[in-house]
Homo-oligomer: A and B are copies of this chain.
């Protein structure tokens, strides 16, 4: 075996300082891509292996941040992750992503996996079935910053970045009322997740504030897929007094509802209006584009990263608990904007 190669050997070979080599190997943003590449290639060709793990164990810093989401295949979570990466990368952090597929067992495993990988922080959104808090305590006991985004649990000392879901439900419902809709149904998700409960409360408050009746018959709890939207329409259309609008807490459900309404020959937006939630890209691609509440996921990701960075820089000095709430915005499109002539504001 040859002698162990050090950063000084690499520095000598390239005629640069050891500090530059070290910065390049640690992805310090002050080092240019060209230099970093040169250093990495030289290091590899000389057989240098950086024991980052040993460094991490020693310094307690791995420059690795774990992000946990229920699933990666919606634009919403993918955009949040993009925001997180954009904010953390210039600070020298690398991001690893795990998905829980909405199961608590996988969430617990994933937390352990990330802790074992020595992450410097965990940014996460709860899975639908998450009830336990032991795994969160596990993170906190290790003094690793934990930041919730979108779906959170109220835990002392834990920061979160969410949107004002009540406001989101309120503006969506208010918009439907302003379009002249009188009997607005609401398709919600599982209320064990705060976000759905809050959107429903916004819906209810908007009805009451505008002199409309709140009737539980018109509130259905459904899964977040198109099939659920279709069967919800079937259920609603069996009611004595049929609704003339739907506010859905999910874009996928809104899409399924629209497809079934169209199959039934109901004309949108003339005779029926639909508003979804999340502003998934497909909502604007449809020929009958779908109105939806935008949750600013990119901004949410950047804020979650910022909260984490604040917390890291504050370690040992102050304990920071931030509850950031972003404001959602309604994007009104064809599925809910009636021709002006027919509009009858309350």
Chain A residues with a Cβ under 8 A of chain B: 27, 33, 36-37, 40-41, 44-45, 47, 49-50, 52-53, 56-57, 62, 64, 66, 71-73, 75, 78-79, 81-82, 85, 94-99, 101, 105, 108-110, 112-114, 116-118, 132, 134-135, 137-138, 141-142, 255, 281-282, 285-288
Q: Kindly list chain B residues whose C-beta atoms are within 8 Å of the C-beta of A81.
A: 72, 99
Number of copies: 2
Whether the pair A105, B137 counts as a contact (CB closer than 8 A) is no
Contact (A116, B52) CB under 8 Å given A78-B73, A105-B37:
yes
Cβ contact of A98, chosen from B27, B37, B96, cutoff 8 A: B96
Cβ contact of A64, chosen from B117, B135, B287, cutoff 8 A: B117
The binding surface of chain A is classed by DSSP as: helix
Interface centre among A33, A142, A288 (most CB of B within 10 A): A33
Q: Kindly list chain B residues whose C-beta atoms are within 8 Å of the C-beta of A117.
A: 64, 96, 117-118
Please provide the 8 A-B residue pairs with the shortest distance between their CB atoms, ordered closest to farther: A73-B78, A52-B116, A287-B287, A97-B97, A117-B117, A94-B113, A96-B96, A72-B72
C-alpha gap A52/B112 in the complex (Å):
9
Q: Kindly list chain B residues whose C-beta atoms are within 8 Å of the C-beta of A57.
A: 53
A307 smallest CB distance to B (angstroms):
22
Contact (A97, B116) CB under 8 Å given A37-B105, A286-B286:
no
Q: Kindly list chain B residues whose C-beta atoms are within 8 Å of the C-beta of A85.
A: 99, 101
